[in-house]
Amino acid sequence: MSLVSAAVITGVGSYLPSRLVRNTDEPLSLLDTDDEWIRSRTGIRTRHWVEPGESTGDLAVQAGRRALRSAEITSVDLVVLSTTTPDHHSPGTAPWVAAQLGLGNVAAFDVSAACSGFTYALAAGDAWIKAGMAERVLVIGAEALSTITDPSDRGTAVVFADGAGAVVLQRGCAEEPGALLAVRLGSDGTQKDLAIVAAGGSRWPEERQQAARGERCLRMQGPQMFSHAVRRMTEVSRLVLESVGWQPDVVEAFIGHQANQRILDKVADLVGVPGPARLGNVRDVGNTSSASIPLVLDEVVREKSVGAGARTLLTAFGAGAVWGSVAMTWPDIRPPS
């Protein structure tokens, strides 16, 4: 039997900053909102935020270290870090994270694809391995979204949160548990204003003026994002399932980007994913953008509630607009110690 070469997930790790914020805690309790609204409209009860001075890079280092430990390796050929909140406008955060992890002069770059970032970063790692450019890749999704959230905006402050998750990809074969079997990505830049940090980039003078008005926070048109998210996550999930020839009812593990429980339920219903396959933690961690999928992955690996080799579907949608889905099998990895 000839084995098909593939990138295989062999390690996973995650990290949440220690500051736990309940719906009833400040500064959320100062807003014109309440616990009942937040729970019923988003599914969120708690989230974690960084402390002043704690950065995306700091979270990424912690998650990356745990993923390397779980894969039982100390070196990789590439670090890909997906984030919307890099430590600096320039340089990228990935090289600093690689250095903190003692990975030497390894190739390292950031991916900017908002809440779909983890699927894009996985696709990059997968492609490097398939092209023979890397044997082992550390893929991290890390965010400190609280640093770009306006605490007085009830439409975003209750939703966005901080955290990091990471996986190790290694060259292996498609028959192994943890193999990435298909990836589908897409974008629609005409929708860029749906969720945007308008100021601070190179598009000026308008955005310089916005910067002066304090437009360095993420602004979101929530209901529009909601309907685009449902439509695109459903479409791209169907596409990736078609690529691997799976009917939706054979999916044993489904992890959608943890934006809002109502979005996740709608997508899973429309795609036809069985109830027991639906995994998530938006209730406890909120919307952590590119960290959200690996945070769930790590949590479920720790719980050991999904068996190695289970048919797994990942799907995400984010600002840009961008979207992505991955079909894979559940990895056979031990929880990081």
Which one, 118 or 330, has the nearer CB to ligand COA? 118
Cβ at position 76, least distance to ligand COA in Å: 29
* Among the residue ranges 8-16, 222-230, 242-250, 302-310, the one whose residues contact ligand COA (CB under 6 A): 222-230
Give the other-Cβ count within 10 Å of 283's Cβ.
Answer: 15
Catalytic residue (choose from 115, 217, 228, 260): 115
Binder to ligand COA among 222, 248, 272, 309 (CB under 6 A)?
A: 222
The 93-122 contact track toward ligand COA, x by CB under 6 A, reads ----------------------x-------
Catalytic residue (choose from 23, 260, 281, 287): 287
219: Cβ–Cβ under 8 A, 6 or more apart, which residues?
150, 153, 156, 195, 196, 197, 198
Structure tokens at 178: 């943890």
Q: In the chain, which ranges are E strands?
A: 5-15, 19-22, 46-49, 78-82, 107-111, 136-144, 162-173, 180-187, 195-196, 219-220, 253-256, 278-279, 311-318, 322-329
Binder to ligand COA among 42, 56, 70, 149 (CB under 6 A)?
A: 42
Q: Are 44 and 288 in contact (CB under 8 A)?
A: no
Any catalytic annotation for residue 48?
Answer: no
Q: Is 317 one of the binding residues for ligand COA (CB under 6 A)? A: yes
Closest by alpha carbon to 158, among 220, 212, 106, 250?
Answer: 220
Binder to ligand COA among 86, 318, 320, 331 (CB under 6 A)?
A: 318
Which one, 157 or 181, has the nearer CB to ligand COA? 157
Q: Apex CA 58: angle with CA 331 and CA 39, to 5°?
A: 70
Q: Is 246 one of the binding residues for ligand COA (CB under 6 A)? A: no
Q: Is 37 one of the binding residues for ligand COA (CB under 6 A)? A: yes
Q: Is 158 one of the binding residues for ligand COA (CB under 6 A)? A: yes
* Among the residue ranges 87-95, 154-162, 184-192, 267-275, the one whose residues contact ligand COA (CB under 6 A): 154-162
Number of residues that bind ligand COA (CB under 6 A): 23
By beta-carbon distance, which residue lies closest to ligand COA?
Answer: 222
Q: Is 323 one of the binding residues for ligand COA (CB under 6 A)? A: no
> Taking CB under 6 A as the criterion, which residues in 256-275 touch ligand COA?
259-260, 263
Cβ at position 246, least distance to ligand COA in Å: 25
Coil vs helix vs strand at 334: coil
Cβ at position 192, least distance to ligand COA in Å: 13
How far is Cα 278 from Cα 10, in angstroms, rounded to an integer? Answer: 22
Any catalytic annotation for residue 287?
Answer: yes
Farthest-apart Cα atoms in the chain, separation: 64
Name 297's bridge partners: none
**Token match 């929880």: residue?**
335
Any catalytic annotation for residue 257?
Answer: yes
The count of C-alpha atoms lying within 13 angstroms of the C-alpha of 92, restricted to the half-sphere facing its C-beta, is 16
The 273-312 contact track toward ligand COA, x by CB under 6 A, reads --------------x-------------------------
How far is Cα 248 from Cα 231, in angstroms, rounded to an integer? Answer: 16
Give the other-Cβ count within 10 Å of 114's Cβ.
Answer: 25
Which one, 134 or 319, has the nearer CB to ligand COA? 319
How far is Cα 51 from Cα 200, in angstroms, rounded to an integer? Answer: 23
Positions marked active-site: 115, 257, 287
Question: What does the binding site for ligand COA look like in residue numbers (CB under 6 A)?
Answer: 33, 37-38, 41-42, 115, 154-155, 158-159, 195, 222-223, 225-226, 229, 259-260, 263, 287, 317-319
